Amino acid sequence: MSDQPVACDAGNEYDGRMGLRVSALFVVLVGSMFGVLFPIAAHRYKKLGVPEWVFFVAKYFGSGVIVATAFIHLLTPANDALRNPCLTGPITSYDWVSGIALMTIFVLFLVELMCLRYAKFSSMSEELRLEYNDNPAQDLERKHSDDPESGNRNLNHADVDIEETPSRSSDSLAENYSAQLTAILILEFGIIFHSVFIGLTLAVSGKEFTTLYVVIVFHQTFEGLGLGSRLAVAPFPNSKRWTPYVLGLLYGITTPLAIAIGLGLRSSYPPGSKTTLIVNGIFDSISAGILIYTGLIELMAHEFMFNDVMRRAKVSIVLWAYTLMALGAALMALLGKWA
């Protein structure tokens, strides 16, 4: 038996259908934008008349999507890339996918720990303090008027963090802003990494293009719901109230931009080359570590066990939120069969 390594594919499977591929750019753009901006608008503009239970569903369903994305849509492709038979050398002598994801988790924990202790995002945190001190009862576009301990709490208040309740101090408000902004930036960073390679892959895919097209539209829309629901409840000061929209737009344009780049490089971009496989594998591993950390810590543990409001909520509400999250994860796991 020959020990010669398999040659890496230096080309791609692009097979024309340019019109359909260009349409994917715009359809993915619309799906991504809707997914990420809808929760922000629904939460902030009550005049839109969107029922609060819709936001509740989007938030927890989206959380499940993000958790499943880490395991099904990132770890598996990273393993496929870094264990490709055509690769040789040190990259094949160790399970680098798990190692990189593990290192990423520890690095993120250190970053978030230091940010929580020392990074106050001084100008914005000070503005939050001043807003709170000027009018402690004001909702700052994020609080609800109902008492969080009221027995009449319903679904539209079950997702409010304890930091959003009227009893918080101005110091805890600023501290919460620092913690949530750090967590959101980490989450967005991981999702954008992942979205770039999704777009490039879709642009130059071959016979499986139509299946990928449909799956990626759903994937980006649901992933946008997860990110948008987190941006919607972050305690941004009034002068930075547009920040969630900017971060949402950045997510929304990433995959379409990557599709456009992939189409521009369709004759030269080699998804199966040695360099591309290693780069994709490493970045997917990093993104997996980011989303595993964010999903398990921020979206599950913090939301269900360390959120004072959820601890006081009725068991039926907690189980409903859990079921929605499980459904989101199940749907993304199912989509993993095709992409």
Q: How confident is the model at residue 316 (pLDDT cuts 50, 70, 90)?
A: very high
3-class SS at 302? helix
- Asked whether the beta carbons of 282 and 74 are under 8 A apart, the reply is no
pLDDT tens for residues 102-126?
Answer: 999 999 999 888 877 776 554 555 5
Q: What is the mean pLDDT of the chain?
A: 80
3-class SS at 160? coil
Q: What is the DSSP letter of 313?
A: S
pLDDT tens for residues 211-234?
Answer: 889 989 999 999 998 899 888 887
pLDDT, residue 317, reads 93
CA torsion, ordered 273, 278, 283, 284, to nearest 10 deg = 80
What residues contact residue 307 under an 8 Å CB cut-off, 6+ apart? Answer: 161, 162
220 CB-side CA count, 13 A:
34
Least confident of 7-16, 96-105, 127-136, 241-250: 127-136
pTM over 0.75: yes
Task: Report d(CA 170, CA 174) in Å as an integer.
Answer: 6
Question: How would you write 61-116 as a 3-class SS string?
Answer: HHHHHHHHHHHHHHHHHHHHHHCCCCCCCHHHCCCHHHHHHHHHHHHHHHHHHHHH
Helix count (H) and strand count (E) of the chain? 11, 0
Task: Report d(CA 186, CA 191) in Å as an integer.
Answer: 9
pLDDT tens for residues 30-71?
Answer: 999 999 999 898 888 877 788 888 888 888 998 999 999 999
